[in-house]
Structure 1
Amino acid sequence: MCGRFASTTPPDAVARRFATAGPAPNVPPSWNVAPSQPAMVVRRHPETGERRLDLLTWGLVPHWTKDLAKARKPINARAETVATSPMFRDAFHRRRCIVPADAFYEWQAQESGPKQPYAIARRDGEMLAFAGIWEGWRGPAAEILRTFSIIVTAANEDLAPIHDRMPVILEQRDWPAWLGDQEADPAELLRPAEAGTVRIWPVSARVNKPANNDAALLEPIG
């Protein structure tokens, strides 16, 4: 799964990278984005076709949800079932998005003691572009909550020694197909990243607590 990531690139720079239109959101950098928190998401406007960069809440709430307090709010969707699961299939076919990130974290189980956290980023220094899905939920007082989930798949050979799952990382050439700018089968993009795409390094267990949020979280240890 992907349960924590870093989003530190300034919103204006993210907007330029993903060629979005309109004002960029006002959001501070975060080295420890956690579930239920807002994060930048790239979406395609269904009428204009423009890409927009907006803040959505991490943890999907389907539009048909009746009781928000009891909703599951999954942060990840499995690539193997996202197109067919009642929880995700409508969003997969109609509301796909890209979640920009500078790094994400995974935890490796140890023979004894607590899990060791690792940071993972693109080896080429570019931003990560996670495949995501989003939803808009309207409450009884007409309030609107927009949420997202990150799609995960089997880990590639780089990440497999640490964890058996990883986010689906989209290459720039695949962004138009994923967002719906062009006709394509999005299911074909739900695959592990090619070997060598990412670099991995151990980081402090301070990242375990969402309250810890500073640049030192990405510093290598050991």
Structure 2
Amino acid sequence: MCGRYQFTAEQCAEILQIIQEVDRRHGAGAWTPGEIRPTATAPVLVSTNEGIHPELQSWGYKMPGNLVINARAETAADKPMFRASVASQRCVIPSTGFYEWDAQKRKYRFNLPGEEALYMAGLYAVRDGKPCYCILTTQANESMREVHHRMPLVLRKDQIAPWLEQPQAAGDFLHMTPPLLSKVSADAQMRLW
């Protein structure tokens, strides 16, 4: 599962480039970087006739009395809510890491070792006239399992274009095991003493 993630430009040229493109397209102040929570507006990467570029979308598919922020990668193509998005409305959620809590409510931040940016596979749709996205999750791999049984479907940088532009490759990604991640306590980062 993924309920929060980080999107900041400090020391990450890839993320800074996305922020600059969003500011150019939407104007400075159109959204707020930092810890991204459900319902927040944030950049996602999409493929259009203009190529791969960032768009601002709201996190979560709004349903009557519910907000769907994640979709199971293993079953998304079979679910009526996600079927069309899997076929032609795939996105990538750029981040500088995501957060998860263990059973004792301890918060951890996960990153790709040696990488400043972390990319998550996602889907998007237009609901109530507004574009929105959800993050695909899959079974936790060895690096995540002791904290949570689900994790985002993490893509390496070279998998972004195939995920967005090649339906057959995208179908294969839905069943892959994500790369191993590094974990750091986010609680310790927030404590002063």
**Normalised by the shorter chain, which TM-score bucket?**
0.7 to 0.9
Q: Which amino acid aligns with 1:189?
A: F
CA, structure 1 residues 24+8, in 2 after alignment: closer, same or farther (shift >3 Å)? farther
CA, structure 1 residues 183+2, in 2 after alignment: closer, same or farther (shift >3 Å)? closer
Aligned residues of 1:21 and 1:50 also touching (Cα < 8 A): no
Residue aligning to 2:124: 134
In 2, Cα distance between equivalents of 1:183 and 1:136: 20
Taking only the aligned residue pairs, the percentage that are identical comes to 29
Name the structure with the higher helix share: 2
CA, structure 1 residues 24+9, in 2 after alignment: closer, same or farther (shift >3 Å)? farther
2:110 to 98, 104, 120: 120
In 1, Cα distance between equivalents of 2:167 and 2:6: 31
Residue aligning to 1:14: 15
1:148 aligns with 2:133: yes
Structure 1, residues 97-152: CA drift from partner, whole Å, max 9, x if none? Answer: 00001011111113xxxx11111112113311100000113x4xxxx311000000
**Structure of greater Rg:** 1
CA, structure 1 residues 2+50, in 2 after alignment: closer, same or farther (shift >3 Å)? same
CA, structure 1 residues 52+194, in 2 after alignment: closer, same or farther (shift >3 Å)? closer
The CA RMSD measured in Å over matched residues stands at 2.8
Q: Which amino acid aligns with 1:79?
A: A
Aligned residues of 1:166 and 1:192 also touching (Cα < 8 A): no
TM-score normalised by structure 1 residue count: 0.74
Structure 1, residues 44-87: CA drift from partner, whole Å, max 9, x if none? Answer: 11xx15122111100024xxxxxx6x253300000111111011
Residue aligning to 1:192: 177
In 2, Cα distance between equivalents of 1:71 and 1:177: 35
Count of matched residue positions in the alignment of Structure 1 and Structure 2: 187
Unaligned 5+ residue runs, structure 1? 62-67, 206-215
In 1, Cα distance between equivalents of 2:74 and 2:168: 18
1:35 aligns with 2:29: no
Q: Which amino acid aligns with 1:131?
A: A
In 2, Cα distance between equivalents of 1:184 and 1:22: 33
1:106 aligns with 2:106: no
Residue aligning to 1:78: 72
2:184 to 201, 206, 213: 201
TM-score normalised by structure 2 residue count: 0.84
Aligned residues of 2:136 and 2:153 also touching (Cα < 8 A): yes
Q: Which amino acid aligns with 1:185?
A: A
1:169 aligns with 2:154: yes
Q: Which amino acid aligns with 2:124?
A: W
How many angstroms does 1:13 deviate by?
A: 4.3
Q: Which amino acid aligns with 1:121?
A: N
Unaligned 5+ residue runs, structure 2? none
